[in-house]
Amino acid sequence: MQFGSLPTVGVDDLAPGDFLLDVREDDEWEAGHAEGALHIPMSEFVARYGELTEAAPEGGKVFVLCRVGGRSAQVAQYLLQQGIDAVNVAGGMQAWEAAGRPVADGRGGLGTVV
C-alpha cells in the first residue's frame, strides 16, 4: 500500500523484530506504546535524528508509528529524503491496539493509546 510515493503498511504486515519508531509526544508514549519501539517525538525529531541513526538496523527498514498515521507519514517522508528505508504504519497505535497487539505503559503494566 502507498500514499503517493510513501511506502505504507498496515499493522498486520508488521513482524516480530521489525524496527519501530514512535514519533508521538511524551504524554502519548507514557500512556501506552509498543514494547521495544524507539521513541523520538516528532517535535524533537530533527534535533534527535542521531539517536535514530545509531539505533536503526544497518540497511534495515524503519517502521514509523504515531497515533493514527499523519505525523508518522511526515517523519517517514523526511527519513526517505535522508536515504533511510522508512515505512509509514497506517492507522498507527490506534490500529496497533485495535489489532490486539500489546500496549505497554513503560512501568510493567498495560498501557492505553491516547
Give the C-alpha separation, 23 to 35, whole Å.
Answer: 14
What are the residue numbers of the active site?
A: 66
Instruction: Report the relative pairing of strands 2-3 and 6-9 from DSSP bridges.
Output: antiparallel
Q: How many CB atoms lie within 10 A of CB 23?
A: 26
